[in-house]
Structure 1
């Protein structure tokens, strides 16, 4: 008797085989399980309970022995910045990096005795965040007065705030440098990695290697063509942002040239990363996984879409070590703050360390066949 064909068994066999095939490729596991977990951890670290935070500083000589000061320090929505350089504090206030500078001083009233006067200084660059901060300061005033006495005397006086004109910080001034870094990162890595991998698999690099042409010239010749193409994208993005979206170029053409030079520096770094990936990848399907493992954390942690200040302090330390963070910071300093490229020595230095490490690895792992 011929055995009846079981559709149920066939369905189970296909389902089981398909399930095994999913886990046969580590790429599926990483993208399906690991990246969602990473996203949850990163976005879950934003602020505290989703509440907005305000960055403030206390003026030099401000009284820190009173209850009002202590109340402010324990408010989770207030992030207190410390400055050793008052000029830097004023510069941050002018560009909106600080919501306000607060000065608390004790004065003696001949009729009511000692009381606290709270003076605040801000700029138009802080926008609506300063008016939200005023409500917090007033809340703490009422809280302290309630603790100090049940009478109606005023023990904490909020002086009329001083608001000066600051640099007008538009959203595009933050977004465009981040998108510039994002575009450079992924476009360069994909372009260089796949180009060199294809040339190696097709034995083109092997033929070049056997020719009298210097190996360094081979790499430079192929790499420069890819980098030049990415540089065109950089120029287009900056010019489009400036002329159509009012992106700030503090010194005009000089700022534009310095942003392009900073982009070339970053492109050279990323070319080395692409060479590493093209050399260690066994198949072309492994290249996207390597690129995303390198690029996605930077996309989320380097101030591309939102400032790194939303993260806790320990995570901000990790963010500061990433090359894309340094690139984004340098470009924003050059474009909006009006600094010159030589003023970004810290960012250039950290990127330089990355370049040395990356190209030391390239020398060890690069394959010509």
Structure 2
């Protein structure tokens, strides 16, 4: 009786199964993938966001040289958005992506300026902050005029309808990205360095198993674990804190696809670190060089628009920024994968770059 031919597919699945069990038994994997993100979600969902920034769209034709605009420009809590079309602003206003639209008109008669402001019920709290800011500006400008003179500016306000944008809608995608980045970088780097140092990979080479089966098996195990963790985080956020899933199951599936893409890219960083690291003690500092800037600068805990312009430029290069933005567009705005091609293109570029580096640095022995 002839023996069955060797199957690399079976070998890959066996490695994936063993690796998945190993991940489940690892306290650090569970903590970084599930515990930390959930703790942050619970904390931030209940206390709201710190470092509040009010995003105000500046309408085309708005007077930007008069005293009203200049006073508004100097208010630190206000971020003036000038790079969107009228259609984009109106759409983003109704979705709560921007908090108000302002249009300051210079008049040929009294008063010299008219301040037209549109708010949205989707961002009522920030609208109230802007109301207070504008009231102070309006009072100060008119108060500085001659006592017998008519007002320098007139303030007109209106409110449009929109879905409420809750802080959980911002924080949960960021924490999901946090989880995927931690799992992909730390998990992959430690596992493959450990397999190399303990000569497990060398023992694999004494068997008919192909090299790609080792990598693919580990990737499958981490992918399944992270997708289960992502699904758990999404469902907890939705049912406990009202996280918006605009298209229900379809939105969840799109978010899981993005999670898979993000994890695969972040694993590339892990492969690179495992090849560079000399021992296990060098993995944490190398991993932190990759992960810490992204935790802080990629819109994980607070909006990128709160940063200075030069820092926003750095933020917009990082892969986690684009993964977080894609998640938020899919969850709250109802975007499909075809609507986030810009973010997917940036992630694809990162995929090509990091795996080109990983191929050069990864070591089997």
State the TM-score, normalizing by the size of structure 1.
Answer: 0.79
The yes-or-no answer on 1:125 pairing with 2:122 is yes
Q: Deviations over 1:190-220 (max 9, x none)?
A: 3222221222122221233354433223311
The aligned residue for residue 192 of structure 2 is: 196
DSSP 3-state at the match of 1:168: coil
User: Within the alignment, does 1:137 sit opposite 2:134 as a pair?
Assistant: yes
5 Å-filtered alignment, 1:1-369, equals 53-64=53-64, 66-107=66-107, 113=110, 115-159=112-156, 161-369=157-365
| Residues in 2 aligned to 1:53 and 1:263: alpha-carbon distance in whole angstroms | 28
Residue deviations 1:225-273 (CA, integer Å, cap 9, x gap): 2221122111111122222222111111111000000000011112221
Contact residue 188 and residue 227 of structure 1 kept, 8 A: no
1:221/1:154 Cα in 2 relative to 1: closer, same or farther (>3 Å)?
A: same
Give the deviation of 1:167 after TM superposition. Answer: 1.4
Aligned to 1:121, the other structure's residue is in SS state: strand
What root-mean-square deviation, in Å, do the aligned CA atoms of Structure 1 and Structure 2 show? 2.2
For residues 321 and 103 of structure 1, the distance between their equivalents in structure 2, rounded to whole angstroms, comes to 32
Alpha-carbon separation, structure 2, partners of 1:347 and 1:65 = 35
Whether the 8 Å contact between 2:111 and 2:151 is mirrored in structure 1 is no
CA distance in 1, matches of 2:340, 2:232: 23
CA distance in 1, matches of 2:52, 2:188: 41
Contact persistence 1:209–1:368 (CA under 8 A): no
- What is the SS of the residue equivalent to 1:128? helix
Deviation, 1:102, is: 1.5
Alpha-carbon offset, residue 222 of structure 1: 2.4
Matches of 1:348 and 1:276, distance apart in 2:
22
For structure 1, which runs of at least 5 residues remain unmatched after alignment? Answer: 1-49
Tell me if structure 1 keeps the 8 A contact 2:111–2:154.
no
C-alpha spacing 1:197/1:75, structure 2 compared with 1 (3 Å): closer
Query: What is the CA-CA distance between 1:73 and the residue it aligns to?
Result: 3.4
1:152: how far off?
4.4
Question: What's the TM-score, normalizing by structure 2?
Answer: 0.80
* Contact 2:145/2:151 (8 A) holds in 1: no
Distance 1:51 1:273 in 2: 31
Q: How many residue pairs are counted as aligned between the two chains?
A: 316
Q: In the alignment, is the contact (CA less than 8 A) between 2:298 and 2:318 conserved in 1?
A: yes
Q: Which has the larger radius of gyration?
A: 1
Q: Deviations over 1:329-349 (max 9, x none)?
A: 110111011111221111111
| d(CA) in 2 for partners of 1:241, 1:57 | 30
Measured in 2, the distance between the counterparts of 1:278 and 1:84 equals 43
Structure 1 residues 52 and 291: alpha-carbon distance in aligned structure 2, compared to 1, 3 A threshold: closer
SS of the residue corresponding to residue 263 of structure 2 reads helix
Distance (Å, rounded) in 2 between the aligned partners of 1:106 and 1:357? 51
Equivalent-residue separation in structure 1 for 2:252 and 2:226 (angstroms):
16
Q: Which has the higher contact order (CA 8 A, sep 6+)?
A: 2
Deviation of 1:147 after TM superposition, in Å, equals: 4.5
Residues 314-369 of structure 1: CA deviation (Å, up to 9, x unaligned): 01111111111111111011101111122111111111111111111121121111
**Partners of 2:105 and 2:359 in 1: CA distance:** 62
